[in-house]
Amino acid sequence: MTMQTLAREVAGIASGRPARTYLMCPPTHFAVDYSINAWMDPGAPVDRDRAMAEWERLRATYVELGHTVHLLDPIESLPDMVFAANGATVVGGMVMGARFRHPERAHEADAHREWFQHHGYRRFTPATHVNEGEGDYVYAYRAIVAGHGFRTDPQAHNELHDAFGLPVISVQLVDPRFYHLDTALLVIDAFTAAYYPGAFDEDGLLKLKTLFPELIEATERDARAFGLNAVSDGRHVVIPHDAVDLSEKLTERGHEVVPVEMTELRKAGGGPKCCTLELRP
């Protein structure tokens, strides 16, 4: 075992459970009918069958890695509902509800709330301020990094702290292409994260450097390929196949990179992580 693999093992243990539980929503009604971020072009064609095939592969990948996937029923009038990460934040079996910035997505929050109510989650904190769930709230084991600037209201960060009792580290997003924190920051394990520096202001960069002993810099090419919108279980990193620079750096450091193709869902401004809400027990 090399030092690097040993370090990975230790970090994996510190990251807790090897098997994870995720909530996903099939892209049955996926479309780009409106534009609420820099990637969405309602005039460009979207192949829903392909979106479904890519999503199915993502789900199968999680199952093959030993994880459990629960499903949320898709609703016809909500084409972005496939991005399940935005509907809530779940830590320690407790749930903080979302409140979407755009009316087009508002009802997704209700669907999530109902799902949690019917699945035995008794501690559900409804949101007063706009927060787009784990799109902007990135769980980092000892803290939650909370983005603002495009979607989540910075005032929501207080209620996030009250909901889970974890320190909340607020960072401002400055590049409209990376409008949710989970498009610019990827937490890999308790000590390691990858990030795209251009998405943050000076203050945010300092905070990230303080929080993560190991911080991997992603290139703009990685960020545009939604490489930071990857899902780590502490050992494997499920990442868009064309985030090549970051995948190489992760492999060099001893992480197991699992590439997936997400070309259709990207047209709505999302990648694997956007489709995946982790249900932390």
* Among 46, 91, 208, 274, contact with ligand ARG (rule: CB under 6 A): 274
* Among 85, 109, 190, 246, contact with ligand ARG (rule: CB under 6 A): 85
CB of 9 to ligand ARG, least distance (A): 29
CB-based contact 230:258 (threshold 8 Å) = no
CB-based contact 247:228 (threshold 8 Å) = no
Please list every residue from 127 through 186 that binds ligand ARG, using CB under 6 A. Answer: 135, 180, 182-183
Catalytic residue among 180, 236, 255, 275: 180
* Among 30, 62, 83, 116, contact with ligand ARG (rule: CB under 6 A): 83
**Structure-token pair, residue 208:** 């990230």
Cβ proximity to ligand ARG: between 183 and 247 the closer is 183
Active-site residue 180, yes or no?
yes
Active-site residue 25, yes or no?
no
User: By CB under 6 A, is residue 189 in contact with ligand ARG?
Assistant: no
Query: What are the DSSP calls for 235-266, one per residue?
Result: SEEEEETT-HHHHHHHHHTT-EEEEE--TTGG
**Structure-token pair, residue 221:** 């090419």
CB-based contact 216:250 (threshold 8 Å) = yes
Query: What are the DSSP calls for 23-69, one per residue?
Result: EE---TT----S--STT--TTS---HHHHHHHHHHHHHHHHHTT-EE
Pick the piece of the chain touching ligand ARG (CB under 6 A) from 17-25, 43-51, 79-87, 191-199: 79-87
Helical H segments across the chain, by residue range: 3-14, 48-64, 108-118, 156-164, 202-211, 220-224, 244-252
Amino acid identity at 62: Y
Task: Report the distance separating Cα 188 and Cα 232, nearest Å.
Answer: 5
Q: How many residues bind ligand ARG (CB under 6 A)?
A: 16
CB of 96 to ligand ARG, least distance (A): 15
Catalytic residue among 67, 112, 255, 274: 274
Amino acid identity at 104: E
* Among 149, 204, 270, 272, contact with ligand ARG (rule: CB under 6 A): 270
* Among 80, 108, 233, 278, contact with ligand ARG (rule: CB under 6 A): 80
Q: What are phi and psi of 174, to 5 degrees?
A: -120, -5
Site string for ligand ARG, 34-63 (x = CB under 6 A): --xx--x-----------------------
Site string for ligand ARG, 229-268 (x = CB under 6 A): ---------------------------------------x
Q: Which positions touch ligand ARG (CB under 6 A)? A: 36-37, 40, 80, 83, 85-86, 105, 135, 180, 182-183, 268-270, 274
Residues designated as active site:
180, 274
